[in-house]
Amino acid sequence: MITARGLTKHFGDVVAVDRLSFDVPPGRVTGFLGPNGSGKSTTMRMVMGLDLPTAGTVTVNGRHYHDLPWPMREVGALLEARSIHPGRSARAHLLALAHSNAIPARRVDEVLELVGLASVARTRVGTFSLGMGQRLGIAAALLGDPGVLLFDEPVNGLDPEGIRWVRTLLKHLAAEGRTVFVSSHLMSEMALTADHLVVIGRGRLVADTSVADFVSRSSRRSVRVRSPAVDRLAEGIRQAGGTVHSTPDGSLTVTGMDAAAVGDLAASLEIALHELTPLASLEDAFMELTGDAVEYRSAEALRSDGHAAGAPVPRPGGGP
Amino acid sequence: MTIHHTAVSAGAIGPRPAGRAGLRHAARAEWTKLWSVRSTGWSLAVTAVAVIGIGVLATATTAHTWSTSTDLPDKLTFDPTRHSLTGFFLGQLAIGVLGALVVSAEYGTGTIRATLTAIPRRPVVLAAKVLVFGSVALVVSEALAFAAFFIGQAILSGSAPHAVLSQPGVARAVVESGLYLAALGLFALGLATVLRHTAGAITAYVVVLLVLPLIAQAVPAVVRDAVSRYLPANIGLTILSTRPTARLIGTPTFGPWAGLGILLAYTVVTVVVGGILLVRRDA
């Protein structure tokens, strides 16, 4: 259980985290969603006792991190991909950490096996790929078999196989009853991994809700339409004030009109419909909620016509 | 890749011990970290080569030229103990690099975040670093002091005056040279804790050891006489010598033990300031 109350961090005049309060309970994957620069990493660093809050508190299992007697046995974290001496072997890095929390050396070999790095245990970390570095960071987080786990952007730099591996691992850890708190700026990634979302923008809490609720709160819905008379239908929708986006598979994605309005319009134009599916895009919901809170907005994020909604295509959610 | 369920699940690390992660655990971790990077072996090897190699070079040259030399003042002030320890002036740079790296490499590579999350009580982490590196530096420095002394005297004997440990001040000079070198290593570790940057820490260390004496040469004599006894370089020269060095240096000096006390005070102050900053700053 992670508990933040009024958590605030200023860096000079910049307010990185602003009166953030949330709970991360055990047994489910809680996604920590926000655009780049919204304060996710700073929040996680405050949980881990690395940054001192300017105001407010954050505790793990009711205690400040600093007061945990055996921190690695209670909390594990993957904070930055590369925070390991490149000249040290994977095993030596983990062994030093194990010693610091009275963890037996055989556990080091166990976690190396678990993350698939056993064959390169004695290789210097400097030769590792980005994905191997991430795996080593995950091994370090799991070293103390902790009940609380934090992962800051764990799939960054991973190949598709690695991404799937991380997703499976996160769900598995939560299913074991652990507290799993995972940050991402990718809505689509969170949709696949998280059960619950803590959404922040510009350091402020935007939403604390289930993934399903988060999607349904989105007012900008879109509708997928298939028709043999696509061009005529698109023209009609535009005249009716809707926005149409063609997709490569020949269907249309309509925004600005709901499914009923599109159906009625097609009927009045005597156009047959082969599909009429209301869609809700997690990314659109995210954009809408954090719209005012996004530090840097890309041109894409400002575009109003949406995209092939619901497709699990990762894309930066408002990064520059 | 599959996840081996048995390995993740609880029970894999045994029951939680009593107490909390403390100095003993932190020291074990620091010991593992110290010997698992190549820079440790290299720095110590360079220190050894500098101390012994230059000692051999200096004493061999003297042994070769003593009988033909006509430099009478030079011969009258010849200190065979200090001569065999000449390599310490280079060795102190190498041990300083290692002392700085013990802390600054963690900041340079980001390992400091893993270290401080494993043991969030930061003074304990710093104390463990001081303990582990200090012990290694002390053992290595003392071994080098005695090795350089005995090798140097063996080379000198027969062709030039040489020293034995039982002579006044000789054992003191040899033992204290090792203490001096270890203290400087810890001083560099303290500088690195304050500055958190390898290049910055080593630069500061070199400035204190080598540049301050040059500045002292450039200021008026009244100022020079007042301050130069506090310079680590002059303290070091006194420590390595078996006879008074005031005439050699040209300014008043502290005695060898008082000098070491001052050097240790610098080290303690630097490490404590580093510790206070370590606690206060975000990692």
**B201 vs B136: CA distance, rounded Å:** 20
- The yes-or-no verdict on residue A297 having pLDDT over 80 is no
The tens digit of pLDDT for each residue in B144-167 reads 999 999 999 999 998 999 999 999
Q: Which residues of B touch A72 (CB under 8 A)?
A: 117-118
Q: Is residue B276 part of a domain?
A: yes
Q: Hey, is the C-beta of B221 within 8 angstroms of any chain A C-beta?
A: no
Do residues B98 and B138 make contact, with C-beta atoms less than 8 angstroms apart?
Answer: no
Q: Is residue B6 part of a domain?
A: no
Q: Hey, is the C-beta of B15 within 8 angstroms of any chain A C-beta?
A: no
Which chain A residue is nearest to residue B117, measuring alpha carbons?
A48
Do residues A34 and A194 make contact, with C-beta atoms less than 8 angstroms apart?
Answer: no
Task: Using alpha carbons, select from A208, A206, A216, A209 the residue that is nearest to residue A290.
Answer: A206
- The yes-or-no verdict on residue B210 having pLDDT over 70 is yes
Which chain B residue is nearest to residue A64, measuring alpha carbons?
B120
The tens digit of pLDDT for each residue in A230-282 reads 999 999 999 988 888 887 788 888 888 888 889 999 999 999 999 998 776 66
Q: Mind telling me how many Å the CA of B255 is from chain A's nearest CA?
A: 42
Q: Is residue B11 part of a domain?
A: no
The DSSP output letter for A124 is B
Q: Is residue B230 part of a domain?
A: yes
Sheet containing A275-279: order of strands: A243-246, A252-255, A222-226, A275-279
What dihedral angle (degrees, nearest 10) is formed by the CA atoms of A81, A84, A88, A92? Answer: -90
Q: Hey, is the C-beta of B10 within 8 angstroms of any chain A C-beta?
A: yes
- What's the confidence (pLDDT) of residue A313? 37
Q: Which residues of B touch A169 (CB under 8 A)?
A: 3
Query: What domains are there in chain A, each with its CATH number?
Result: 2-211 (3.40.50.300), 222-279 (3.30.70)
Strands of A25-127 (E only): list them. 29-33, 55-60, 75-78
Within 8 A by CB and 6+ apart from A190, the residues are A31, A33, A184, A197, A211, A282
- What's the confidence (pLDDT) of residue A285? 66
The tens digit of pLDDT for each residue in B41-99 reads 999 999 999 999 999 999 999 999 998 888 888 888 899 999 999 999 999 999 999 99
Do residues B273 and B204 make contact, with C-beta atoms less than 8 angstroms apart?
Answer: no
**φ/ψ bin of B106: left (φ > 0), alpha (ψ from -120 to 50), beta (otherwise):** alpha
* A14 C-beta neighbours (distance < 10 Å), count: 9
Q: Look at the alpha carbons of A29, A35, A37, A39 in this order and tell me if their dihedral is positive or negative.
A: negative
- What's the confidence (pLDDT) of residue B247? 79
Q: Which residue of B30, B117, B132 to mutate against A (max A Cβ within 10 Å)?
A: B117
Q: How many CA atoms lie within 13 A of B55 on its CB side?
A: 29
> For residue A246, what are its two tokens?
């063609």
**A320 vs A290: CA distance, rounded Å:** 15
Q: Hey, is the C-beta of B120 within 8 angstroms of any chain A C-beta?
A: yes
A96:B39 CB<8 A:
no
Distances (CA, A) of B139 to A41, B29, B39, B145: 42, 19, 18, 10
pTM score: 0.85
Q: Mind telling me how many Å the CA of A242 is from chain B's nearest CA?
A: 46
Q: Is residue B4 part of a domain?
A: no
Containing domain of residue B213, as a range?
22-280
**A68 vs B11: CA distance, rounded Å:** 19
Which whole number is the average pLDDT over A191-195?
Answer: 90
> For residue A116, what are its two tokens?
């698939």
Bigger pLDDT: A310 vs B61: B61
Three-class DSSP category at A299: helix
**A12 vs B121: CA distance, rounded Å:** 25
B116:A102 CB<8 A:
no
- What's the confidence (pLDDT) of residue B5? 45
Q: Mind telling me how many Å the CA of B196 is from chain A's nearest CA?
A: 15
A96:B9 CB<8 A:
no
Confidence of residue B4 (pLDDT cuts 50, 70, 90): very low
Number of domains forming the structure of chain B: 1
Radius of gyration of chain B from Cα atoms? 22
- In degrees, rounded to 5, the angle at the alpha carbon of residue B249 between the alpha carbons of residues B243 and B254 is 60
B37:A87 CB<8 A:
yes
Q: Hey, is the C-beta of B167 within 8 angstroms of any chain A C-beta?
A: no
Query: Tokens 């582990």 identify what position?
Result: B132
Q: Look at the alpha carbons of B206, B207, B209, B214 in this order and tell me if their dihedral is positive or negative.
A: positive
Which chain B residue is nearest to residue A106, measuring alpha carbons?
B13
**A61 vs A149: CA distance, rounded Å:** 12
Given B8, B20, B38, which is nearest A87 (Cβ)? B38
**B152 vs B146: CA distance, rounded Å:** 10
Sheet containing A55-60: order of strands: A14-24, A2-11, A55-60
Given A51, A99, A116, which is nearest B28 (Cβ)? A99
- In degrees, rounded to 5, the angle at the alpha carbon of residue B278 between the alpha carbons of residues B188 and A74 is 125
Within 8 A by CB and 6+ apart from B263, the residues are B180, B183, B184, B187, B232, B235
B194-203: burial string, b at 16+ Cβ within 10 Å, e else: bbbbbeebbe
Query: Tokens 């166990």 identify what position?
Result: A110
Which chain B residue is nearest to residue A87, measuring alpha carbons?
B37
Residues 79-108 of B with CB under 8 A from A: 105-106
- What's the confidence (pLDDT) of residue B11? 52
Do residues A174 and A27 make contact, with C-beta atoms less than 8 angstroms apart?
Answer: yes
The DSSP output letter for A221 is -
B17:A102 CB<8 A:
yes
Given B39, B110, B117, which is nearest A87 (Cβ)? B39
Residue A288, classified by CB atoms within 10 Å of its CB into exposed (0-12), middle (13-18) or buried (19+), is middle
What's the whole-number average pLDDT of chain A?
Answer: 86
Within 8 A by CB and 6+ apart from B206, the residues are B93, B96
Q: Hey, is the C-beta of B67 within 8 angstroms of any chain A C-beta?
A: no
A88:B105 CB<8 A:
no
A69:B19 CB<8 A:
yes
Q: Is residue B8 part of a domain?
A: no
Q: Hey, is the C-beta of B110 within 8 angstroms of any chain A C-beta?
A: yes
Q: Is residue B255 part of a domain?
A: yes
Interface confidence (ipTM) of the complex: 0.91
The tens digit of pLDDT for each residue in B10-39 reads 456 878 889 999 999 999 999 999 999 999
Which whole number is the average pLDDT over B175-204?
Answer: 98
Q: Which residues of B touch A69 (CB under 8 A)?
A: 19-21
Confidence of residue B175 (pLDDT cuts 50, 70, 90): very high
Do residues A180 and A27 make contact, with C-beta atoms less than 8 angstroms apart?
Answer: no
Q: Mind telling me how many Å the CA of A78 is from chain B's nearest CA?
A: 9
Q: Is residue B14 part of a domain?
A: no
B121:A113 CB<8 A:
no
Within 8 A by CB and 6+ apart from A117, the residues are A90, A132, A135, A136, A139
Which whole number is the average pLDDT over A9-20?
Answer: 95
Task: Using alpha carbons, select from B35, B147, B48 the residue that is nearest to residue B95.
Answer: B48
What's the whole-number average pLDDT of chain B?
Answer: 93
B29:A97 CB<8 A:
yes
**Which of A66-70, A292-296, B273-277 is predicted with the least confidence, judged by mean pLDDT?**
A292-296
Three-class DSSP category at A14: strand
**A257 vs A239: CA distance, rounded Å:** 12
